[in-house]
Amino acid sequence: MIKFLKLYEKFGIFIFIVVGAIVLSIASPHFLELNTILNIITQGTYAAIIGFGMTFAITSGGFDLSVEAVMGLTSVFLAILIPVVGIPSAIVISLVIASSVGLINGLIITKLDVNPFITTLAMMTIIRGVSLLVAGGRQIVISEKSFMTIGTGKLLGIPVPIYITMVLFIIFYLILYHTPFGRHVSAVGSNENSARISGLNVNLVKIAVFVLISFTAGVAGTIRTSQTLIGIPTMAPGFVLIVITVTVLGGTSLSGGRGNLWGTLFAGIFISMIYYGLNLLGVQIFYQMLSVGLVLIFALFIDGIRTKYLEKIKAKGIKV
């Protein structure tokens, strides 16, 4: 059973992708075309990018519901700043602003000892309000067409968002699995009290994690804004559900201490496949959202079974 759970954690999402690919290949003869595959992967990059940050948050024992609001905030500031300071500077400033939301989240959670769920839920509402206030309650059109390169451009036939996703994946992978900070994140999520006793600066680790996830939300917001050339203060309503689904379905345990970035990456592609398949069948958006919710429930169910079983095994003194 232990071997099965470990195999599922590592390779379960690949099984879903293979099954999904087979079904879609039967439903549409065009599914295996290169452009279709690239489109599915590109659409999956948004959730995957923020999922990298959410993987860190959940691995550390935290949570962040404010990511979709951060996307909207980033979008608004990009639209305002690009005509003033240019595209590169506008992106840097907007990402710094996005990351500052994570800093505020981290400080409230660590210094005021407020629950991450409550903190980020409240921050989501606050940031959404700030975005609407700054934008004057309207969408802001971006006139610089060259900005679209980030979201719609291609390099060697491959969409730019895929390159951005892979660069971020490599960076986050190295941080989580090959640096002391990554080990500290896992240690805090596994047992926060033990981490404190061992001398880790738990508060600093948590703050850094929330800055990272807000940064990833800012990157995703930048890509989406580039595709539409519109600053949208209410961008991606409900997107946090997809991000959480991608993270948990990918094998990151809600109990903390164990993150799976590979799973997060491919879960993003799988969720994109679901949307593509349902669009192909002419299913309405309401049912598409329902299907993602059901996938999340399934992922939580499997995670719950895995956590309970491993706890029983550990209680018997068996090393897992």
Which domains are present in the chain?
2-315 (1.10.3470)
The pair phi, psi for residue 155, each rounded to 5°, is -130, 115
Q: Amino acid letter at 177?
A: Y
Find tokens 């609001």 and name the residue. Answer: 69
pLDDT of residue 167: 96
pLDDT of res. 25: 82
**CA gap 243, 136 in Å, rounded:** 28
Name the burial class of residue 141, with classes exposed (0-12), middle (13-18) and buried (19+) by CB atoms within 10 angstroms of its CB: exposed
Sign (positive/negative) of CA torsion 28, 32, 34, 36? Answer: positive
Give the pLDDT score at 312: 67
Instruction: List per-residue pLDDT tens for the chain, 320 residues long.
Output: 556 566 666 667 787 788 888 887 887 777 777 888 888 899 899 999 999 999 999 999 998 999 999 999 999 999 999 999 999 999 999 999 999 999 999 999 999 989 999 999 999 999 999 999 999 989 999 989 999 999 889 998 899 999 999 999 999 999 999 999 999 999 999 888 888 998 899 999 999 999 999 999 999 999 999 999 999 999 988 889 889 888 988 888 887 888 889 989 999 998 888 888 778 777 777 777 787 778 778 777 776 776 676 666 656 655 55
DSSP track, 134-183: HTTTS-EE---GGGGHHHH-EETTEEHHHHHHHHHHHHHHHHHHHSHHHH
Closest to 55 (Cα-Cα) out of 254, 293, 298: 254
Position 290 scores a pLDDT of: 82
Helices (H), the chain: 2-27, 34-59, 67-85, 87-111, 116-134, 149-152, 160-178, 180-190, 192-197, 202-228, 239-249, 261-280, 285-315
CA distance 302 to 63: 19
Distance CA 203, CA 185 (A): 11
Instruction: Please state whether beta strands 158-159 and 140-141 pair in parallel, antiparallel, or not at all (unpaired).
Output: unpaired
The two three-digit tokens of residue 257, written as one number: 């201490």
What integer pLDDT is reported at residue 3 of this predicted model?
A: 61
Range 204-239 burial, b when 16+ CB lie within 10 A, else e? ebbbbbbbbbbbbbbbbbbbbbbbbbebbbbbbeeb
Model pLDDT, residue 4: 59
pLDDT for position 11: 63
